[in-house]
Amino acid sequence: MNQARFRHFGEARREEWALIDDRFRDYVADAPRRVLEHLDRLAGDTHGYPVDRHEHCLQTATRALRDGADEEMVVCALLHDIGDDLAPANHAEIAAAILEPFVDPLNAWMIRHHELFQGYHYRHFFGLDPHARERFRDHPAYARTVRFCDDWDQASFDPDYDTLPLEHFVPMVERVLGRAPYGGLPAILEETDSP
Ligand SMILES: [Fe+2]
């Protein structure tokens, strides 16, 4: 059997769930490759910016790396705008959701809030409060989020910067997203009773 035959969950047998569980683990293990593949979708249209988002993500990660950030932070920098393609209205949520099972909760918080913090550099052009991030001043991730935005994210629109290629970051992404997710994955039992 290489595929379940049930028409609805009510008739699914344990062997079928065991098969699906097995396949799901392979699917999870392959997720870093799919994430990297999706990053490629950010290449091309600059949407008016000086560089496209693919270059921007690579440049943000390169600056973080050269500033001595740890591997997890570099991966966060590389993926922080990956949601732009699918969710331009709330892109930070996508990156935060991808990273959250594998990184320090403070780094997930940083990515989730980076748009507001980044706004310090442009919100005044839109009649919005550039200091809106100050309401999080007492949050334990405040300082790292400020650093992330001020030193790396907002600075990474330079078409002449010596940006490292994606290949340089692939092993880092594989290591960080290849970690066991917090909370683990449910594992199928040897024997199960009916609910
Ligand atoms: Fe960004």
Q: What is the pLDDT of residues 108-133, one digit of tens each?
A: 999 999 999 999 999 999 999 999 99
* CA–centroid distance, residue 180 to ligand 1 (Å): 27
* Structural domain contains residue 99: yes
Identify which of 82, 72, 128 has the alpha carbon closest to the alpha carbon of residue 105: 72
* CA–centroid distance, residue 8 to ligand 1 (Å): 43
pLDDT score, position 183: 82
* CA–centroid distance, residue 171 to ligand 1 (Å): 21
* CA–centroid distance, residue 178 to ligand 1 (Å): 24
DSSP string across 113-165: THHHHHGGGTGGGGTS-TTGGGGGTTSTTHHHHHHIIIIIITT---TTS-PPP
Whichever domain contains 146, its CATH number is 1.10.3210.10
* CA–centroid distance, residue 107 to ligand 1 (Å): 15
* Structural domain contains residue 191: no
* Structural domain contains residue 69: yes
pLDDT score, position 119: 97
pLDDT score, position 195: 63
Higher-confidence residue: 182 or 35? 35
Range of the domain at 66: 12-177
* Structural domain contains residue 138: yes
pLDDT score, position 186: 83
* Structural domain contains residue 91: yes
Share of the chain above pLDDT 70, in %: 98
* CA–centroid distance, residue 30 to ligand 1 (Å): 25
Q: Per-residue confidence at 48, pLDDT binned at 50, 70, 90?
A: very high
Mean pLDDT to the nearest integer, 35-41: 96
Alpha carbon dihedral 158, 160, 166, 171, in 10-degree steps, equals -90
Query: Is pLDDT above 80 for 191?
Result: no
DSSP structure class, residue 181: P
* CA–centroid distance, residue 12 to ligand 1 (Å): 44
pLDDT score, position 192: 65
* CA–centroid distance, residue 138 to ligand 1 (Å): 23
pLDDT score, position 193: 62
pLDDT score, position 175: 97
* Structural domain contains residue 21: yes
* Count of structural domains, the chain: 1
Please give the span between the terminal C-alpha atoms of the chain, in angstroms, as a whole number.
25
Contact 51, 39 (CB under 8 A): no
